[in-house]
Chains A and B, each alone.
Chain A
Amino acid sequence: MTTLLRGAGVTVRFGALVACDAVDIDIVAGEILGIIGPNGSGKSTLLRALSSVHPPTQGSVFWHGREVTGWKVDKLARHGLVMASQNQMVFGGVTVREALAIAHSCRPKGKRIDEALAGDRLVALVGLEAVLDALASDLPLGYLRRLGIGIALAAQPELLLLDEPGAGLNDFETRELKSLLLTLRDLGVTVGIVDHDMTLMVSMCDRVVVLDAGKKLVEGPPQEVMKDPRVIEAYLGTPMEIAMEDRS
């Protein structure tokens, strides 16, 4: 069990607001780690801090044990840490085929390529065969998300961070997303995911971290965490089971 990414005391301030408050977090090779918490609890901010999109105000980030705090996003991506956030996932004005070719061209020249994450196998993996010649900007949401993940995968990440990849998807699309992420884990890509869909998170994640008001509340196996009174408290006293049933 090697720790891929470690955040130590990660703190992000926006003026007086402390969006992330001294969060310690480890992501271990080969796992799917979920980050959950109420709206505004700092999940997206944490992901952005870990991936250097918006570096932490205080605290450090380690990648393979090496301090990478404040590195440029692209450099971190070239070292294998890629984040895909829901609002900027795709290249808009080109076809899916071209978008993947572009993504392919962006990775560093000398990098070893995992064949499962390139070319036709990548297309098949994310299930985009049917829409290769459609304009990316006109794809239905489910395809759009998969293209976003496909683009991120073309960069050959060791760790893929995803911010709400399931937002707005219907049940079928959510199930597809889940099986894609599980396949990724089997292929050796570690995944860190933020999502509001508790059913998805509980059934898929190996471990979850719960944030509340910028602080880490608990972490552990999903089933256990969901029963933790502090977590229930954080979700406004709603027992998790009810919250989970509510959405279906």
Chain B
Amino acid sequence: MDLLMQHLFNGVVASSVYMLIAVGITLVFGLTRLINFAHGQFLVIAVFVALDLITAGVPFVFAAAAAVVAAGVIGWLSERLLFRFTMDNPYNGLIIGLGLLLVLESAAFKIWGGFQVGVPAAVTGGAGLGDTYFAWNRVLVLVVAGLVTAGLFLLLARTRLGAQLRAAHENPVAAAHVGVNVGRMVTVAFVAGSALAGLGGVFYGTLQPVGAFDGAHLILKGFAVALLGGLGNVSGLAKASVLYGIGETLVAGYGRAEYVPFFTYGVIIIVLLVRPGGLFEKHPPSDSTFARSSRGVARAERHSRVERLLGGAAFVLLPIVVFEAVGTSRLQSLVLLSVLYAIQVYALAYVYETTGVLSIAQGGLMAVGAYSAGVIAVHLGLGFWWALLVAVPLTVAAGALLGLVVSRCTGHYLLLVTLAFSALVTQLTLTAIDLTNGDNGLILPEKLPEIGPLTFTDLRSQFYLVFLVALLAAFGLRRFKSTRFGLQLSGVRENESLARSIGLRVGRAKVGAFALSGAVSAVGGVLYLYTQTVIVPTSFDAVFSIKIVIILVLGGVALAGPLVASMVFVLLPELLQLDPVDQQFLFGVLLIMIILLLPRGLVPALITGYSALRSRLLPARHPATATGRPETGGDAVRSPSELVREEIS
């Protein structure tokens, strides 16, 4: 029982730090509907900066202040240089944040190395009261974080700046009309939120060690708290942080530290399922911004037949050409790997195209498929066909579950929920050591089966098998579009509330789409296992999921796009001889640049460039004129091909 007191105290201290993170998230979110994925990494950077300065002999207070300033400056720069360009489309902002996270993580690794570090506590010692030990440092953290938060509330409630911030939060348009500089308020929120993250980082660093790649995990924690409190609802945050902090400490104290991530992701998923508005509010915050603009990337375009043929034939055959052209088996196996990636991209593209949800959980789904196949092979000695028999239904179920969670929430939650799902699966594969062998991975004892005279023991035959499956997946998913189910999904994509208002069970349709995509992910996952023969949890972690998203964004959803983009994506780092950290840096930069410069993706941009050229060279055809009721509209009715050309040029 006495231990309980200790856990409660530690939990409250931790919660004061989470409060700082969550307030920052909420500040920015309230004004911009944006969740900055890189926010958690600001904490990490603050830890490193503070540690460096303290090591160099700077007193704690000044080191902490410098770390706070550093985080604030990074926040300011990211708003000025990146996020301000996506303000009208928070969905793109989310993806930019993701890219920034990758960049900052790999940069932190380059600068400070891969070790987990802590910040030396400002004060040492403490006092015991019964069996509970109150370390002065923890008391300090609690008091300062409490004071800062209280000060912030006062600032929001009492000052002119606070009033302007609240006005911009309540109604940006009206606030702008009465003279509030909303753009400046956004900057203020970014800087203040990031500075709070900096302070939170320094404190967090005195409580537990932090590594260069902890940003993703920290943003998920902050998000869990913000969500629990009701996003955008500042007053709910205090209660939520305490609940979360104590819950987490209890889980770690009575369970194991490895269980904490389950707690975090569990909170996110369960809150979204049961109370999407947070614990203290019944309705989620309105999401009208997203309803209008959540379709920023990789929008399916209408191409003429020539373009489709061009894309279809030339690009689709490209992997074969490349596979046969590259000499070394090392490169050939990379081409094979890229086609394995492409299968996952097709699965993701299907969900994206049909439901408009850009999920960062593709790695999670693939992991369910690959690991279930691996586990039954290693532990039960069951081979390929069994693997399919087990992996497909399991992954379909996982996909349906994901779809269920996703269909309960909108816009800004989506990416985070899917990220949480992905992280949850990774954590499962890491923790269930008896089954998965944890970090050491599973080594496949089975081989691909023979089909009649065909064997799949060499690289070439495996490549063609996987390539065939990729094409089948692409065409197969495409075929679903004209079915009743596919049409319903088009309805969801084009106008969800209209589809609902004419009787469609929208949630069910989304679950169906995720389940179907899960089936493809499973087959791809099993093939991954059977061609790569080793799987480790990090093969399918969040970074992998993000890679799949990048490929989708790069290539667009068209048939050939994913194949070409996967090849570029897998081969390029190898040809440039980049190590994984450099690769991650490159991915991040790529992601940011694509969103800022080519929001429709690279391959579609190529095709669009081609058709713009073509329409300039070829004389325009006569517009189809409407028969009947000519006096009705005023405008002549235009044919789709014309519309396409207008849209493109």
Chain A residues with a Cβ under 8 A of chain B: 51, 53, 73-74, 77-78, 82-84, 88-95, 98-99, 101-108, 127, 129-131, 133-135, 138-143, 151-152, 154-155, 172-173, 176
Contacts and interface: CB of A to CB of B under 8 A. Distances in A.
B615 interface: no
Contact of A95 (B495, B499, B634, B640): B640
B503 A106 contact: yes
B318 interface: no
Most chain A CB neighbours (cut-off 10 Å) among B484, B633, B634, B643:
B633
B491 A102 contact: yes
A95 B504 CA distance: 20
Interface of B: 484-485, 487-488, 490-491, 494-495, 497-506, 624, 626-629, 631-635, 637-640, 643
B629 A134 contact: no
A61 to B, nearest CB: 16
B484 A134 contact: no
A155 B498 contact: no
Contacts of B485: 105
Contacts of A102: 487-488, 490-491, 494, 499
A103 B637 contact: no
Contacts of A98: 487, 490
B631 A172 contact: yes
A65 B506 CA distance: 27
Nearest to A84: B501
13 contacts: A74-B501, A77-B503, A83-B501, A88-B501, A93-B494, A94-B494, A101-B487, A102-B491, A106-B491, A142-B632, A142-B633, A143-B633, A172-B632
A53 B503 contact: no
Contact of B505 (A74, A83, A91, A151): A74
A130 B494 contact: no
A107 B637 CA distance: 29
B500 A74 contact: yes
Secondary structure at chain B's binding surface: helix, strand, loop or mixed? helix
Q: Which 8 A-B pairs have the closest CB atoms?
A: A140-B633, A105-B487, A77-B503, A91-B494, A155-B502, A106-B504, A102-B491, A78-B503
A106 B495 CA distance: 12
Given A98-B490, A140-B634, A176-B632, A88 B498 contact: yes
B390 to A, nearest CB: 31
A99 B503 CA distance: 15
Given A77-B503, A138-B643, 19 more contacts: A53-B501, A74-B500, A77-B501, A93-B494, A94-B494, A98-B487, A99-B494, A102-B490, A103-B502, A106-B491, A106-B502, A106-B503, A129-B628, A131-B626, A134-B639, A140-B635, A140-B637, A142-B633, A172-B632
A77 B502 contact: yes
Nearest to B646: A138
Nearest to B508: A74
A74 B498 contact: no
Contacts of A92: 494-495
Nearest to B507: A74
A105 B501 contact: no
A50 B624 CA distance: 42
Nearest to B503: A77
B488 A151 contact: no
A130 B629 contact: yes
Contact of A73 (B487, B501, B624): B501
A142 B630 CA distance: 12
Contact of B626 (A73, A99, A130, A176): A130
Contacts of B629: 127, 130
